[in-house]
Structures are given as structure tokens and as C-alpha cells.
A and B are shown apart, each in its own frame.
Chain A
Amino acid sequence: MSNGFEARAAGLACPLPIEEEAVVQMAHGGGGRKTAQLIERVFLPAFRSDALEQLGDGAVLTVGNERLAFTTDTFVVQPPFFPGGDIGSLAVHGTANDLAMCGAEPLGFSVGLVLEEGFAIADLRRIVASIAAASARVGAPVVTGDTKVVDRGKGDGIYVNTSAIGRVRAGVTVAPDRAASGDAILVSGPVGDHGIAVMAARNGIALETQLQSDSAPVQLLVRALLEAVPETKVLRDPTRGGLATALCEIAAASRVSMRIDEAAVPVRSEVRGACELLGFDPLYVACEGRFLAIVPAAAVERALAALQALPEGAGARRIGTVTDGDAGRVLLRTRIGSHRRLERLSGEQLPRIC
């Protein structure tokens, strides 16, 4: 892999951003290639362990006869209140959903808060109430926590970390490397709502939309799916990097190819419209209440029936098929019948000039 250091060592007069590896950039947190590089080059070499190297949404640990899933997530969303949710409910849903992607339901949460001096107590109360309501909704209490305050100007109001531990459902083994040729790829509902709702609520962008974030716990849907189809092979929530990046990661982990039918991927028209304006691709916009499921072909109808029976799964669709072929190759059949490869998100999606 070529990088800035190599180029500098060779003394080439190229305009590579040679400081790139020296400092953290926003794209390192974007969930795309740069995040993957940080994990591969900085974290994995230091933390190697079997549970970590699965690179799932959480770790699965065996304790006696019990399989426990453990996960953590930190939330820095700006603004902290957005249409359809806030940083508190998002932090509970995000972590509960990471457990759900391991086939587990939460037993208890930890909540760590980093507060900036000057943050309104009234806003903090709203967020804490939202955390409490969300944890009640997923049926697991907040059992431990921590608070730190930083000087004014050294934080962004509030950052929230949540961790959770949960029990993996008996008879279920889901992991990113289990997809096999012939399996069906399902998505639980329309993609991109969260990313566009947050973008529209941000200062500096005058985008009027009725769109709400899709931030929601998925565990009831996952429970329904796993009851109907315990042989479900892969679950993944397409958060940062969106649907396309999640598909690429699963295809790489399972060493398979995938075929996705663009016309089958549910995207709300508001999301499509906002993406057209901003120059974004909805397949790369974050979701916070959706998941991808890969199930054996024979189980597709059972899976869709189980998902669509719940209101939050009404939009569940089959979007493609796992195939033989180059590991990591995800081919999209466009609405007009041509094909293009989906790649992982590179950097962050930046609004275009014109």
C-alpha cells in the first residue's frame, strides 16, 4: 500500500498530503476507508484478541455455558437535538442495536457523559430523560455511569458514551464472515433517514424537510427475525458509511461477492431529494434504526413475513443475493439495467460545489 511516508522517503516531488498520517482528521471517524485504516494500523496491532478480530458490532465472550455480547459506542452528534431524536436516545439505541447485531439483547447499560462547562442543565435533563425512556423501551436499565466536565470551548456541549452487555440468543450464531453464495440480502426499512435528518438540522444548511431520523431500537425486529429464522447468518446495522460500506465489509469478511438491485433498495423520496441537492449518494448515508440481514435463500419468505409483521419492519425488502466471485466485490444493478461496483466510503461525503 502506498502512502505519504513512502513517497517522502523516495524523495518524489509529488503533492501528496505528507502530513496525513501524523494527525487525526475528521475522515478517521467517518466509518469509511480511513476508519478501517486506523483500526488496522493502530488499534488491532495493539489490542489483538480473538474476540476483537471478529470485527463485529460487538464482542461475543463465552462465560461458562453462556455467550455474552459486549459493546461500546460514543456519540458526538451535532446538534444534540434533531428531528426524530436526540443524542440520549441515539446513544441507547446505537448500543442496543450493536448488541442486536450480535444476536443479543441488553441486560444493562453504562452511560458516560462528557459535559462542556456552560451546557444548560435543562438540556441535560432532557437528554437524561431521553436516555431513561430509551433504556426502558429496550428493557434494560442504566446500571452504572460516569460524568466529566471540560472547560468551555473544549467540548461540543455534550458527548455520550454508552456500553452494554447482553446475552446472545440460544441457537443463534451471527457473524460478518458467515455469508455464503446463494444467501439472500435483506434490509429492514428505507435507508439514509438519520443522516439526512441530522444534516438538515445542522446550522448553516437551509434544507427544509419533514424528515425524521430513523433512530430506533431494532431489537424487537431482530427478535422476530431470529425467532422465525434462527439460521440467520449475518446482521449488520449500516451506520456511518451507510448501506454500501456495510455490504462491502460483509463481502470482504465472508470472502464472497454480492449482487444488489438498486430498484429494490428502499429510499424515501425526501432522502433522495436531499441527496440530489447535496451531491450525496443515499447508499452511503448513515442509518440508526435499520439493519441488514443475510439469510439462507430458503428462509427469505419467512424472514420478510416476520419483519413486515411489525410496524417498524413494514419497509423490509430483499435487496440482493450473495454470489461466488471476487472477495469483497459488490455489484449494483442500476435502475436502468447497467452495472456498477459499490466501494467503501472514501473519506467523508462532502457537499459538492455545483
Chain B
Amino acid sequence: MRHVDEYRDPEAIQVMLRRIASTITRPWTLMEVCGGQTHAILKFGLDELLPALIRLIHGPGCPVCVTPLEQIDRALAIATTPGVIFCSFGDMLRVPGSHSDLLVAKARGADVRIVYSPLDAVDIARRTPSQRVVFFAVGFETTAPANAMAVCAAARAGLRNFSVLVAHVLVPPAVDALLSAPGCEIQGLLAPGHVCVVTGWRDYEALAARHRLPIVVTGFEPLDLLRGVHAAVAQLERGDARVENQYERAAAADGNPAAQRVVNEVFVVCDRKWRGLGEIPASGYALAPAYTAFDAERVFGLGDLHVEEPTECRSGLVLQGRLRPTDCPHFGRRCTPDHPLGATMVSSEGACAAYFHYGRGAAAAA
């Protein structure tokens, strides 16, 4: 398969592994920011192939995982309101709220639908004018353009029965918070390639300078990830701390201006609460004043709902890279994909889900 096979070629991978081994002289700790990267690392067993001197810790780049409990509870409150069609990307459905999840709400009669594009939700609103259609707009900078387009399309069509429950978050402020935390062990970053396709990497240059560490824009295939690791290790060995792009085939310094335009039209930057990281200033998107008629929190009067995160689930530490999933006492015992304590166990980008699904830790055998 073109565009995939060449980045999974066993020989090219062996060559890159040898280059890494011949470059590294000391132990280094790298964080891959994106959950998609975490899954690829475990799926392809890259951590097993890398030199023992490299420690990979897993970052917060799973939008489903960092969506706070109160936003899930808002989604459940909306989805269980009569006359509502609640549309979401698939992997949000299993995430536990305080008392339930969207799959259980669906089993109990709520009209919860999986859509593959937010524009599908706009279509549903157009075809069913008697129902209120709500789309759960979750994601990082990657999904923001499509979600913004859906709001624009609804506005253009004059749809009054469509709204979005926004839980958009931004990568650089979260990374900044992690790197600023006392005791941070991260020495180099693999930046999320798909986010940089949209945003470019200007924001990361400021981070690299402020925290004095290499940041490598990295893709998601095994060879991409190894190239990212090699570039980060080479910089660390040389004492460099700059932004470098190893995802040239997709990402450019200034990103995708057309995508940025639609995002800037529909959204404004706002403070956001993250699961596991707490409230981070200027770390998310809210609808711009011209589009607040599409804000589901307003439409359904749920802005005041506040819920404390549960203490039982340690996903906060996992999301900060401070706890390896298999070191959590609940992993594979009280917490499994069938009975998750938190989102990191059920999201397709969650670190705990990756460790469980790819059979890491004796507990997964139980």
C-alpha cells in the first residue's frame, strides 16, 4: 500500500535503529505528545526495538482522554433530553461520565449516532427539522477545521436546530504546562505531526527556546517515529534545542492557511479544563460571538454544570506522563476496556487502552 508500506519497511527500520544506536551515548527521556503516536509505538513494538537508553513517556495528546468529566456529563444530559439527536465520533461513546456513558444512554433509548464527519451531523439536522441535533465537537487543532466548517455550513443554511458541544483543546499550552511543572523529566519532544499539518510549528519554536529542548515534528508510521527519535537524540547529544521537521511529506512551517482561516472565523481561544491537567489558560476553543447561537451549552443551559474529577482513576498522572499505565494498581484488574475507570482505557488514542490492547503487563492476561 503506497504511502504506508515504505514507512513500515523492515529494512529501512533496521537501518534507522542502527543509526539511533550509533548516535546515542547517554540515557534520554522523550515524550511523544500524540496518542496516535503512542498507539503506533506499542502496536509495532518500537519501544522493544529501541536502545534501552531511550525512555519514551506518553503525552496528553488524546482528545477523548483529556475531555473533562463535566463535559461528558453535559453530553449525557443533552443526549438524554427528549427530541435530541446526539452525534459524536465513535470513540467518545465508551468514555465514562459520572454515572453512565453514551453507549448505555443509547441502549436506554437516547438517539445517539456515530458520524464520520461533522458535516454528516449538519445533514441530519437539515433532514430532521423537528429534532434538535447536537454534535460533540471534540479534538485538537486537527479536527477544529472540519468542526468549524460544520458550524459555517449550518449558519449558511440557516439551521436553527443544530448546535455543537465544544470541547476543543490546543496542544502548545498543554505542552507548556507539562514542561513548566516541577520535576519534569522530559528532555525532548516528538510533536504531533497531524496537528502541525494544520497549525504549522511556529508556536513550538517559542516552546523549544523557553524550555531549552529539541522538538521534532513527527509522523505516525514506525519509520516516522524512529526518524523523530533519531533527530531528537542527535540534537540532545549535540546540545541543540530547536524545532525540526521529520514529517516533511505533510507538515509545513506555516501549516494550512485555509484551515486556519475557517477556525479563526468560528472559534476564539479560551481557557479550558483538561482531565488530568486541570484548568490551563488559553488552551482551547470556544465559539466566537457571532456563532454563539450554535453553542449547545447555551442552548441547553448547561454552562453552570461543574463536576469534580474522580480520585479513583489515575488517568491524570498517565496523561502527564508520570505514571506508566501498567504501573497503575487498577490496570487490567478494576479497570479494563469493558469496565473502564477513565477515558484513557477506552479511547482509541488512550495510553491505557494501547497497553491493554497490545497485551502489555501480566494483568492484561487475566
Could you list which residues of chain A lie within 8 angstroms of chain B, going by C-beta atoms? 2-4, 7, 12-20, 23-27, 33-34, 37, 204-206, 269, 272-273, 276, 279, 326, 328-329, 334-343, 346-347, 350-354
B354: min CB distance to chain A, Å: 10
Collect the chain B residues with CB atoms within 8 Å of residue A206's CB: 116
Contact A347 B94 (CB under 8 A): yes
Of the stretches B36-44, B152-160, B203-211, B319-327, the one at the interface is B36-44
* Contact of B303 with A by CB under 8 A: no
Q: State how many residues of chain B have any CB contact under 8 Å with chain A.
A: 68
B58: min CB distance to chain A, Å: 16
A199: min CB distance to chain B, Å: 10
Query: Can you report 26 A-B residue pairs in the complex whose CB atoms are below 8 A from each other?
Result: A2-B339, A7-B334, A14-B312, A15-B98, A16-B96, A17-B96, A17-B104, A19-B104, A20-B104, A23-B104, A23-B108, A27-B103, A204-B116, A206-B116, A336-B45, A337-B14, A339-B48, A341-B359, A341-B365, A346-B337, A347-B346, A350-B114, A352-B91, A353-B63, A353-B91, A354-B143
CA distance A353 to B99 in the complex (A): 23
* Contact of B78 with A by CB under 8 A: no
Contact A353 B138 (CB under 8 A): yes
**Given A14-B341, A204-B120: 19 more A-B contacts, CB < 8 Å:** A13-B311, A14-B312, A15-B96, A15-B341, A17-B101, A17-B340, A23-B108, A204-B116, A279-B91, A329-B365, A335-B10, A336-B8, A338-B46, A340-B42, A340-B358, A343-B357, A346-B338, A351-B90, A353-B89
B36 contacts which of A33, A347, A354 (Cβ < 8 Å)?
A: A354
A33 contacts which of B89, B313, B338 (Cβ < 8 Å)?
A: B338
Contact A336 B10 (CB under 8 A): yes
A31: min CB distance to chain B, Å: 14
In B100-121, which residues have CB < 8 Å from any A CB? 100-101, 103-104, 106-108, 114-116, 120
* Contact of B222 with A by CB under 8 A: yes
Collect the chain A residues with CB atoms within 8 Å of residue B103's CB: 17, 25-27
Contact B359 A342 (CB under 8 A): yes
* Contact of B165 with A by CB under 8 A: no
For B312, give the chain A residue with the smallest CB separation. Answer: A14
Contact A350 B90 (CB under 8 A): yes
For A271, give the chain B residue with the smallest CB separation. Answer: B1
* Contact of B276 with A by CB under 8 A: no
For B334, give the chain A residue with the smallest CB separation. Answer: A2
Collect the chain A residues with CB atoms within 8 Å of residue B268's CB: none
Could you list which residues of chain B lie within 8 angstroms of chain A, going by C-beta atoms? 1, 4, 8, 10, 13-14, 36, 42-46, 48-49, 63-64, 69, 89-94, 96-101, 103-104, 106-108, 114-116, 120, 138-140, 142-143, 194, 222, 310-313, 333-334, 336-342, 346, 348-349, 356-360, 364-365
Collect the chain A residues with CB atoms within 8 Å of residue B97's CB: 15
Contact B310 A272 (CB under 8 A): no
CA distance A272 to B8 in the complex (A): 13
For B343, give the chain A residue with the smallest CB separation. Answer: A15
Contact B364 A25 (CB under 8 A): no
Collect the chain A residues with CB atoms within 8 Å of residue B13's CB: 336-337
CA distance A341 to B139 in the complex (A): 29
Collect the chain A residues with CB atoms within 8 Å of residue B1's CB: 269, 272-273, 276
Given contacts A24-B107, A351-B90, A351-B114, whether A336 and B101 have CB atoms under 8 Å apart is no
Given contacts A14-B312, A25-B104, A343-B357, whether A353 and B139 have CB atoms under 8 Å apart is yes
Contact A353 B143 (CB under 8 A): yes
Contact B69 A15 (CB under 8 A): yes
Contact B349 A352 (CB under 8 A): yes
Contact A347 B338 (CB under 8 A): yes
Contact A16 B339 (CB under 8 A): yes
CA distance A352 to B36 in the complex (A): 10
Given contacts A334-B44, A354-B194, whether A15 and B342 have CB atoms under 8 Å apart is yes
CA distance A15 to B93 in the complex (A): 14
CA distance A339 to B359 in the complex (A): 10
Given contacts A16-B341, A350-B90, whether A340 and B139 have CB atoms under 8 Å apart is no
B182: min CB distance to chain A, Å: 28
CA distance A337 to B91 in the complex (A): 30
CA distance A3 to B333 in the complex (A): 10
Collect the chain A residues with CB atoms within 8 Å of residue B310's CB: 13-15
Collect the chain A residues with CB atoms within 8 Å of residue B142's CB: 354
For B309, give the chain A residue with the smallest CB separation. Answer: A15
Collect the chain B residues with CB atoms within 8 Å of residue A340's CB: 42-45, 358-359
B17: min CB distance to chain A, Å: 9
B100 contacts which of A17, A273, A353 (Cβ < 8 Å)?
A: A17
Residue from A17, A205, A279, A351 with most neighbouring chain B CB atoms (10 Å): A17
For B311, give the chain A residue with the smallest CB separation. Answer: A13
Collect the chain B residues with CB atoms within 8 Å of residue A335's CB: 8, 10
A285: min CB distance to chain B, Å: 15
CA distance A33 to B333 in the complex (A): 15
For A269, give the chain B residue with the smallest CB separation. Answer: B1
For B105, give the chain A residue with the smallest CB separation. Answer: A19
A327: min CB distance to chain B, Å: 9
Collect the chain B residues with CB atoms within 8 Å of residue A351's CB: 89-91, 114, 116
Contact A334 B45 (CB under 8 A): yes
Contact A352 B313 (CB under 8 A): no
CA distance A118 to B59 in the complex (A): 52
CA distance A206 to B359 in the complex (A): 33
Given contacts A2-B334, A15-B310, A341-B364, whether A276 and B4 have CB atoms under 8 Å apart is yes
CA distance A279 to B40 in the complex (A): 11
For B124, give the chain A residue with the smallest CB separation. Answer: A204
A337 contacts which of B10, B334, B348 (Cβ < 8 Å)?
A: B10
CA distance A152 to B344 in the complex (A): 40
